[in-house]
A and B are shown apart, each in its own frame.
Chain A
Amino acid sequence: MREQDTLNRSRLRWLFAIIFLGLVTQWLFISVIQEPYPAIVYPAFTALAVHEGHIEDNRTEIVIRSKTQAPVRVDAQRFFQSLPQSFVKFVLATIDQRTEQTASKVRLRVGPYQFEIKKTLYQDASMVNAFHQWLDQEISRTLQIDEPTQLTINLYQDQLDRAGHRLGQEKLLHSTTIDLHRGEKR
């Protein structure tokens, strides 16, 4: 068996040139719009905001209220055990977006012109009910709480210095409450 290229050289040259152009194009798309899947890109770890000797550190707490016992507070990472842990922050954002009925915005700037793509997540009553049933199961499975009535998501912000010391009191940035089995938001 001879080791030869089955594609001729000319076609391979064009294939590589087109792929390289495609790589640059998808990168521009990621830079100005949003990352598609799949895309040839690695995480850059740029999202850390450093302010005058400290960084901001967010923590999300879930509070469960039920008919049978006092409110239970649990860390979001602990509550969403059935999800990959790196997904939790994004899932919380989706829940927030749906309960607040807000549209996520994707901005595209070309010179002086700016375009905005709004993405509103579709939902109906059956979808909301199914989500509440799923939350019920998760609460029962991970925390052994029966008859939950409310689930509150609290986002706190804290500040850490270089030595890992927390600076001052953490503050509540945002709170969302879901009345289970009603599909309402407070």
Chain B
Amino acid sequence: MRRAQFLRAYDHWITDEYRQPAQGLACYRILYVLLTLVFKGTPSYLWLATMPNYLYNPPLVSLGALFPGFPSYPFCFALTIGVAILYVFLLFGFRTRFTGLALFGLLLIGNSFSYSFGKISHDELFALLLPLIMSFSGWGALYSLDATRGRQPRTEGWPITLLALLLGFAMLTAGLPKIQTGWLDPSSSAVHWYMVRRYYGLHSQDYLAPLFAQLPYPFFWEALDYGAVFFELLFLWTVVRRRWFQGFLVLAVGFHFANLLILNISFTANLLIYLLFIDWQPVIQLVHKANLQALGRIFSRQSALFSVLLLQIGFVLFRAYAYPHVTENALREEANGRYSNAIVSPLELVLQALRIQIDTNVLLLLAAVLVILFACWTAVYRRYTDEHVLPADRHSTVGPG
């Protein structure tokens, strides 16, 4: 009996706990790809072809370990253009499942070579996994070219649960080693020492760093140590309940915000993943049905796909011509005012044309915070205006628009 109860709860958690309505999944797909295209820019791998094989040192277990050195320029060019095209296909939901899987494949190849210098960057981990896992969610079922062609896959809840589990586990791997290395030792103040090293040693002195560098309150710094450790350890535990997980995601946004402003550590790529877990049902109910139908019309037109594709390819070619030897990450650091005003995303192109100097990481953070606040507001608004609490439209039939 207990086993049956456990299995029922386990099944519910896997398939229903994180389920989103089809409209919500489609809105998320469009928002995710738009923010990636406009704010972050698609990755460029052209710089890898200019690197000498003397620096090639991939991890023992990786795709890069199968190759003797960095790929050729035509290969890197094809990879860069391929990724850019697949992101546009994903935006318009064109053969969405295949596109997602192909995008994962190309990102994996490109990142494997990018991380063959002995260093693995973790901030893009979920940008790599999302297209793979969400390919099985049916996020191309609405507002897409697939929908207009009658290719409407069933929507699934388990891919979102899986992403929540992976996110919680990743946080755990950051938290547990901290305990072993003295973060909970009252005499150490790990965050304060990081602050000292980053501020004085690495000269990371942007935003609020000057205010905090000389802050003389040991209790404050110790509280940050404890807060960071418990926050990362409890993340996996909250995956069990969607409401708990959402609460921790709000904390996570504050956590990343504080890291950016105080320690100047940018981890903003995760924000786009967090948006998947907001309650999309109240948001789509608040947005007028006519607006959703208009959205559906835009993203189900082949002419719109070709227009965006041309713009995107044009931008990637411009970037390759204007900054042929500079890495995507180096470009990002340069764009933050270190060495020059190189451009990685269309937004930076516009900002530079308007002579506005602002870090796009901060803009991305603000955009994500606005969406999350909007989602929170709509959830509260619906709860007060509607007598019926709105469960996720779990078993209803959903048509395009």
Contact = CB atoms under 8 A, between A and B. Distances in A.
| A, B from the same assembly | yes
Interface of A: 1-7, 9, 12-13, 15-16, 19-20, 23, 27, 29-30, 33-46, 48, 50, 55, 57, 59, 81-87, 89-91, 93-95, 97-98, 106, 117, 119, 121-123, 127-128, 130-131, 133-134, 141, 158, 160-164
Nearest to B62: A37
Contacts of A98: 54
Contact of B158 (A12, A20, A29, A91): A12
B197 A27 contact: no
Contacts of B117: 83, 87, 90-91, 94
A95 B58 CA distance: 14
Contacts of B177: 44, 46
Nearest to B53: A127
B361 to A, nearest CB: 15
B166 A12 contact: no
Contact of B173 (A15, A20, A41, A131): A41
A34 B61 contact: yes
A90 B118 CA distance: 5
Contacts of A43: 122, 174
Contacts of B111: 37-38
Contacts of A85: 329-330, 333, 338
B200 A164 contact: yes
A55 B196 CA distance: 9
A179 to B, nearest CB: 15
Interface in B349-401: 393-399
A42 B196 contact: no
B59 A130 contact: no
B15 A5 contact: yes
Query: Is chain A's binding surface mostly helix, strand, loop or mixed?
Result: mixed
A170 B199 CA distance: 18
Contacts of A15: 158
B115 A3 contact: no
B327 A38 contact: no
B179 to A, nearest CB: 10
Interface residues of B, number: 90
22 contacts: A3-B22, A3-B394, A3-B395, A5-B154, A5-B156, A6-B154, A7-B158, A12-B11, A13-B14, A36-B60, A37-B120, A40-B173, A50-B190, A84-B330, A86-B121, A87-B117, A87-B329, A90-B119, A122-B68, A131-B52, A160-B200, A161-B196
Given A16-B162, A36-B59, A121-B57, 9 more contacts: A1-B141, A1-B398, A19-B162, A38-B128, A41-B122, A44-B177, A84-B333, A85-B330, A89-B119
Contacts, number: 217
B125 A16 contact: no
A127 B303 CA distance: 48
Contacts of A19: 162, 165
B68 to A, nearest CB: 8
Contacts of B182: 50
B346 interface: no
B188 interface: yes
A42 B333 contact: no
Nearest to A7: B158
Given A3-B394, A35-B120, A164 B196 contact: yes
A94 B162 CA distance: 36
A23 B173 CA distance: 10
Contacts of A42: 122, 125, 170-171, 173-174, 232
Nearest to A98: B54
Contacts of A40: 125, 166, 169-170, 173
Given A37-B112, A164-B196, A164-B213, A81 B158 contact: no
Contact of A2 (B61, B62, B154, B338): B154
Contacts of B52: 127, 130-131, 133-134
